[in-house]
Protein backbone atom coordinates (compact mmCIF):
# COMPACT_ATOMS: atom_id res chain seq x y z
CA UNK A 1 0.00 0.00 0.00
CA UNK A 2 1.36 3.42 -0.97
CA UNK A 3 1.50 4.91 2.52
CA UNK A 4 3.44 1.90 3.77
CA UNK A 5 6.01 2.07 0.98
CA UNK A 6 7.55 5.17 2.49
CA UNK A 7 10.15 4.86 5.23
CA UNK A 8 8.67 6.21 8.43
CA UNK A 9 9.91 9.67 9.31
CA UNK A 10 9.54 10.76 12.91
CA UNK A 11 11.75 13.80 12.97
CA UNK A 12 10.84 17.43 12.58
CA UNK A 13 11.77 20.15 10.10
CA UNK A 14 11.61 23.78 11.12
CA UNK A 15 10.15 25.91 8.39
CA UNK A 16 12.10 28.68 6.74
CA UNK A 17 10.44 31.31 4.64
CA UNK A 18 12.32 32.13 1.48
CA UNK A 19 11.77 35.61 0.06
CA UNK A 20 13.49 36.15 -3.28
CA UNK A 21 14.42 39.70 -4.29
CA UNK A 22 16.57 41.25 -7.00
CA UNK A 23 19.31 41.88 -4.52
CA UNK A 24 19.61 38.26 -3.49
CA UNK A 25 18.09 35.66 -1.17
CA UNK A 26 17.06 36.46 2.37
CA UNK A 27 16.03 33.75 4.85
CA UNK A 28 13.79 34.39 7.81
CA UNK A 29 13.09 31.88 10.55
CA UNK A 30 9.38 31.44 11.05
CA UNK A 31 8.20 32.50 14.46
CA UNK A 32 5.28 30.87 16.27
CA UNK A 33 3.95 34.34 17.00
CA UNK A 34 4.07 35.83 13.50
CA UNK A 35 0.67 36.92 12.24
CA UNK A 36 1.50 37.07 8.56
CA UNK A 37 3.69 35.01 6.27
CA UNK A 38 5.34 35.44 2.89
CA UNK A 39 5.93 31.88 1.75
CA UNK A 40 7.64 30.74 -1.38
CA UNK A 41 9.10 27.33 -0.56
CA UNK A 42 9.84 24.89 2.22
CA UNK A 43 13.31 23.60 2.94
CA UNK A 44 13.92 20.68 0.62
CA UNK A 45 15.23 17.93 2.87
CA UNK A 46 13.11 15.39 4.69
CA UNK A 47 13.38 15.15 8.47
CA UNK A 48 15.83 12.54 9.65
CA UNK A 49 14.77 9.50 11.65
CA UNK A 50 14.80 10.02 15.38
CA UNK A 51 15.64 7.15 17.68
CA UNK A 52 13.31 8.12 20.50
CA UNK A 53 10.47 6.81 22.62
CA UNK A 54 8.04 8.57 20.29
CA UNK A 55 9.67 6.94 17.28
CA UNK A 56 9.21 3.51 18.85
CA UNK A 57 5.59 4.29 19.66
CA UNK A 58 4.94 5.28 16.06
CA UNK A 59 6.62 2.14 14.80
CA UNK A 60 4.20 0.04 16.86
CA UNK A 61 1.29 1.22 14.74
CA UNK A 62 -0.81 -1.41 13.00
CA UNK A 63 -2.00 -0.71 9.48
CA UNK A 64 -4.13 2.41 9.94
CA UNK A 65 -6.70 1.54 7.27
CA UNK A 66 -8.42 -1.70 6.44
CA UNK A 67 -10.04 -3.47 3.51
CA UNK A 68 -11.34 -6.90 2.62
CA UNK A 69 -7.80 -8.25 2.89
CA UNK A 70 -6.83 -6.51 6.13
CA UNK A 71 -9.82 -7.38 8.27
CA UNK A 72 -10.46 -6.74 11.94
CA UNK A 73 -9.95 -9.49 14.50
CA UNK A 74 -12.67 -10.52 16.92
CA UNK A 75 -10.44 -9.39 19.81
CA UNK A 76 -10.24 -5.87 18.41
CA UNK A 77 -13.97 -5.93 17.68
CA UNK A 78 -14.73 -6.72 21.33
CA UNK A 79 -12.75 -3.64 22.38
CA UNK A 80 -14.32 -1.42 19.70
CA UNK A 81 -17.95 -2.57 20.13
CA UNK A 82 -18.71 -0.77 23.45
CA UNK A 83 -17.18 2.58 22.39
CA UNK A 84 -20.54 4.01 21.35
CA UNK A 85 -22.89 1.25 22.32
CA UNK A 86 -22.96 -1.16 19.37
CA UNK A 87 -24.86 -4.25 20.47
CA UNK A 88 -24.61 -6.44 17.38
CA UNK A 89 -22.29 -9.44 17.26
CA UNK A 90 -19.10 -9.99 15.29
CA UNK A 91 -20.91 -11.82 12.47
CA UNK A 92 -23.30 -8.91 11.93
CA UNK A 93 -20.37 -6.49 12.01
CA UNK A 94 -18.49 -8.38 9.30
CA UNK A 95 -21.63 -8.56 7.17
CA UNK A 96 -22.23 -4.82 7.55
CA UNK A 97 -18.65 -3.94 6.63
CA UNK A 98 -18.75 -6.21 3.58
CA UNK A 99 -22.00 -4.63 2.33
CA UNK A 100 -20.43 -1.19 2.77
CA UNK A 101 -17.27 -2.18 0.92
CA UNK A 102 -19.34 -3.60 -1.95
CA UNK A 103 -21.12 -0.28 -2.38
CA UNK A 104 -18.22 2.01 -1.44
CA UNK A 105 -14.93 0.21 -2.07
CA UNK A 106 -12.12 1.38 0.21
CA UNK A 107 -9.18 3.11 -1.36
CA UNK A 108 -5.83 2.72 0.35
CA UNK A 109 -4.16 5.31 -1.85
CA UNK A 110 -4.40 7.97 0.83
CA UNK A 111 -1.28 9.82 -0.21
CA UNK A 112 0.66 8.96 -3.32
CA UNK A 113 4.23 7.95 -2.50
CA UNK A 114 6.80 10.67 -2.91
CA UNK A 115 10.41 9.76 -3.53
CA UNK A 116 12.01 13.13 -4.17
CA UNK A 117 10.48 15.47 -1.61
CA UNK A 118 8.92 15.66 1.83
CA UNK A 119 5.19 15.30 2.17
CA UNK A 120 4.13 18.14 4.45
CA UNK A 121 0.82 17.76 6.27
CA UNK A 122 -1.26 20.30 8.14
CA UNK A 123 -3.76 18.87 10.62
CA UNK A 124 -6.35 21.58 11.21
CA UNK A 125 -8.62 21.34 14.23
CA UNK A 126 -11.63 23.53 14.97
CA UNK A 127 -10.56 25.40 18.10
CA UNK A 128 -11.94 28.88 18.63
CA UNK A 129 -8.44 30.23 19.16
CA UNK A 130 -7.84 30.04 15.40
CA UNK A 131 -9.84 33.26 15.08
CA UNK A 132 -7.43 36.09 14.43
CA UNK A 133 -4.48 33.74 13.94
CA UNK A 134 -3.93 34.60 10.24
CA UNK A 135 -2.58 31.09 9.66
CA UNK A 136 -4.52 30.65 6.40
CA UNK A 137 -1.70 31.05 3.90
CA UNK A 138 0.62 28.89 5.96
CA UNK A 139 -1.95 26.09 6.20
CA UNK A 140 -2.65 26.20 2.47
CA UNK A 141 1.04 25.89 1.64
CA UNK A 142 1.17 22.27 2.89
CA UNK A 143 0.96 19.37 0.43
CA UNK A 144 -1.84 17.80 2.45
CA UNK A 145 -4.44 19.66 4.53
CA UNK A 146 -6.55 17.45 6.79
CA UNK A 147 -9.62 19.09 8.31
CA UNK A 148 -11.89 17.82 11.06
CA UNK A 149 -15.59 17.06 10.72
CA UNK A 150 -17.61 20.27 10.18
CA UNK A 151 -14.61 22.58 10.03
CA UNK A 152 -15.49 25.11 7.34
CA UNK A 153 -13.34 27.58 5.44
CA UNK A 154 -15.82 30.02 3.87
CA UNK A 155 -15.70 33.29 5.73
CA UNK A 156 -12.61 32.24 7.70
CA UNK A 157 -10.05 31.97 4.91
CA UNK A 158 -7.53 34.37 6.47
CA UNK A 159 -7.30 32.30 9.64
CA UNK A 160 -7.83 28.71 8.44
CA UNK A 161 -7.05 28.76 4.70
CA UNK A 162 -9.07 27.43 1.79
CA UNK A 163 -7.42 24.13 0.90
CA UNK A 164 -8.84 20.77 1.98
CA UNK A 165 -7.32 17.60 0.56
CA UNK A 166 -8.59 15.17 3.21
CA UNK A 167 -11.48 15.39 5.64
CA UNK A 168 -11.87 13.25 8.72
CA UNK A 169 -15.52 12.63 9.48
CA UNK A 170 -18.08 10.54 11.32
CA UNK A 171 -21.90 10.85 11.08
CA UNK A 172 -22.61 13.05 14.09
CA UNK A 173 -20.25 15.74 12.80
CA UNK A 174 -20.84 15.28 9.09
CA UNK A 175 -20.56 18.08 6.58
CA UNK A 176 -20.83 18.36 2.81
CA UNK A 177 -17.98 16.62 0.99
CA UNK A 178 -17.37 17.04 -2.73
CA UNK A 179 -15.35 14.81 -5.01
CA UNK A 180 -12.23 16.97 -4.75
CA UNK A 181 -11.77 15.83 -1.15
CA UNK A 182 -10.64 12.43 0.11
CA UNK A 183 -12.85 11.21 2.95
CA UNK A 184 -11.10 9.58 5.91
CA UNK A 185 -14.02 7.79 7.55
CA UNK A 186 -13.76 7.15 11.30
CA UNK A 187 -16.40 4.54 12.23
CA UNK A 188 -17.18 4.37 15.96
CA UNK A 189 -20.14 2.00 15.72
CA UNK A 190 -21.82 -0.38 13.29
CA UNK A 191 -24.54 2.14 12.44
CA UNK A 192 -21.85 4.47 11.06
CA UNK A 193 -21.30 2.09 8.12
CA UNK A 194 -25.04 1.99 7.49
CA UNK A 195 -25.18 5.79 7.56
CA UNK A 196 -22.37 6.02 5.01
CA UNK A 197 -24.21 3.73 2.61
CA UNK A 198 -27.33 5.84 2.97
CA UNK A 199 -25.72 9.21 2.31
CA UNK A 200 -23.73 7.90 -0.66
CA UNK A 201 -26.64 6.07 -2.26
CA UNK A 202 -27.14 7.55 -5.77
CA UNK A 203 -30.90 7.38 -5.23
CA UNK A 204 -30.72 9.58 -2.14
CA UNK A 205 -31.64 13.11 -3.26
CA UNK A 206 -30.33 14.59 -0.01
CA UNK A 207 -26.96 12.86 0.01
CA UNK A 208 -24.24 14.94 1.66
CA UNK A 209 -21.30 13.21 0.04
CA UNK A 210 -20.83 13.58 -3.71
CA UNK A 211 -20.49 10.62 -6.02
CA UNK A 212 -16.89 9.80 -6.84
CA UNK A 213 -15.49 10.70 -3.42
CA UNK A 214 -12.66 8.39 -2.42
CA UNK A 215 -13.24 6.83 0.99
CA UNK A 216 -10.66 5.29 3.31
CA UNK A 217 -11.81 3.55 6.48
CA UNK A 218 -9.86 3.90 9.70
CA UNK A 219 -9.30 0.51 11.26
CA UNK A 220 -10.62 -0.20 14.77
CA UNK A 221 -7.20 -1.78 15.36
CA UNK A 222 -5.64 1.67 14.93
CA UNK A 223 -8.18 3.19 17.32
CA UNK A 224 -7.25 0.59 19.92
CA UNK A 225 -3.54 1.21 19.34
CA UNK A 226 -3.99 4.95 19.95
CA UNK A 227 -5.92 4.24 23.14
CA UNK A 228 -3.45 1.66 24.46
CA UNK A 229 -0.12 3.14 23.39
CA UNK A 230 -0.66 6.89 23.24
CA UNK A 231 -3.32 7.43 25.89
CA UNK A 232 -2.25 4.72 28.29
CA UNK A 233 -5.87 3.55 28.38
CA UNK A 234 -6.96 6.89 29.89
CA UNK A 235 -10.43 8.22 29.09
CA UNK A 236 -13.08 6.43 27.07
CA UNK A 237 -11.20 6.51 23.74
CA UNK A 238 -9.15 8.91 21.66
CA UNK A 239 -10.86 11.98 20.19
CA UNK A 240 -11.18 12.32 16.43
CA UNK A 241 -8.57 15.08 16.44
CA UNK A 242 -6.08 13.17 18.53
CA UNK A 243 -6.37 10.04 16.40
CA UNK A 244 -5.86 12.20 13.30
CA UNK A 245 -2.65 13.70 14.68
CA UNK A 246 -1.26 10.24 15.50
CA UNK A 247 -2.40 8.97 12.10
CA UNK A 248 -0.55 11.83 10.41
CA UNK A 249 2.68 10.77 12.13
CA UNK A 250 2.40 7.42 10.35
CA UNK A 251 1.49 8.63 6.86
CA UNK A 252 3.23 12.03 6.60
CA UNK A 253 6.87 13.11 6.52
CA UNK A 254 6.36 16.41 8.31
CA UNK A 255 3.42 17.26 10.54
CA UNK A 256 2.17 20.67 11.66
CA UNK A 257 -0.85 20.98 13.94
CA UNK A 258 -3.24 23.95 14.09
CA UNK A 259 -6.44 24.68 15.96
CA UNK A 260 -6.25 22.31 18.91
CA UNK A 261 -6.94 23.16 22.53
CA UNK A 262 -9.24 25.41 24.54
CA UNK A 263 -9.91 29.03 23.63
CA UNK A 264 -8.85 32.03 25.71
CA UNK A 265 -11.75 31.48 28.12
CA UNK A 266 -10.82 27.85 28.69
CA UNK A 267 -13.70 26.50 26.59
CA UNK A 268 -13.35 23.84 23.89
CA UNK A 269 -15.18 26.05 21.39
CA UNK A 270 -15.19 26.11 17.58
CA UNK A 271 -14.04 29.00 15.43
CA UNK A 272 -17.17 28.78 13.25
CA UNK A 273 -19.84 28.70 15.96
CA UNK A 274 -20.59 29.95 19.45
CA UNK A 275 -21.52 27.49 22.17
CA UNK A 276 -24.46 28.40 24.37
CA UNK A 277 -23.00 26.46 27.26
CA UNK A 278 -19.56 27.11 28.66
CA UNK A 279 -17.14 24.70 30.30
CA UNK A 280 -18.29 21.69 28.30
CA UNK A 281 -14.87 20.07 28.54
CA UNK A 282 -13.97 17.11 26.35
CA UNK A 283 -16.54 14.52 27.38
CA UNK A 284 -15.26 10.95 27.41
CA UNK A 285 -11.95 12.01 25.92
CA UNK A 286 -8.91 12.74 28.05
CA UNK A 287 -8.44 16.30 26.80
CA UNK A 288 -5.61 17.17 29.17
CA UNK A 289 -3.69 14.03 28.29
CA UNK A 290 -4.12 14.63 24.58
CA UNK A 291 -3.04 18.27 24.81
CA UNK A 292 -0.03 17.33 26.91
CA UNK A 293 0.96 14.80 24.24
CA UNK A 294 0.87 17.49 21.55
CA UNK A 295 3.17 19.64 23.68
CA UNK A 296 5.59 16.76 24.28
CA UNK A 297 5.66 15.93 20.56
CA UNK A 298 6.41 19.58 19.83
CA UNK A 299 9.22 19.69 22.40
CA UNK A 300 10.68 16.51 20.90
CA UNK A 301 10.52 18.13 17.44
CA UNK A 302 8.25 15.39 16.08
CA UNK A 303 5.54 17.89 15.17
CA UNK A 304 5.18 21.64 15.24
CA UNK A 305 2.25 22.62 17.42
CA UNK A 306 0.85 26.04 16.56
CA UNK A 307 -0.95 27.25 19.65
CA UNK A 308 -3.15 30.29 20.04
CA UNK A 309 -1.38 33.61 19.50
Hey, which residues are catalytic here?
237, 285
User: Using CA atoms, how far apart are residues 39 and 195, in angstroms rounded to an integer?
Assistant: 41
Single out the residue of 39, 47, 187, 44 nearest to residue 106, CA to CA: 187
Pairing status of strand 182-185 against strand 215-217: parallel
Taken as a whole, the chain contains a residue count of 309
Amino acid sequence: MPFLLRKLKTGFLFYQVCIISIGGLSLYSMSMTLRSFQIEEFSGECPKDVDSLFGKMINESPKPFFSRIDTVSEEVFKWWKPIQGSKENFTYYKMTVEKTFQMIPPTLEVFKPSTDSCRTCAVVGNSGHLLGSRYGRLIDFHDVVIRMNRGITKGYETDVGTKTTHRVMYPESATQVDNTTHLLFFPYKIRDYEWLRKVMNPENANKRISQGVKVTYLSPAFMKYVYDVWLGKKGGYGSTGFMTVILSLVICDEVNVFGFGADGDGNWSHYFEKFRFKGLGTGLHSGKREYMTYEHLHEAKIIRFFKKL
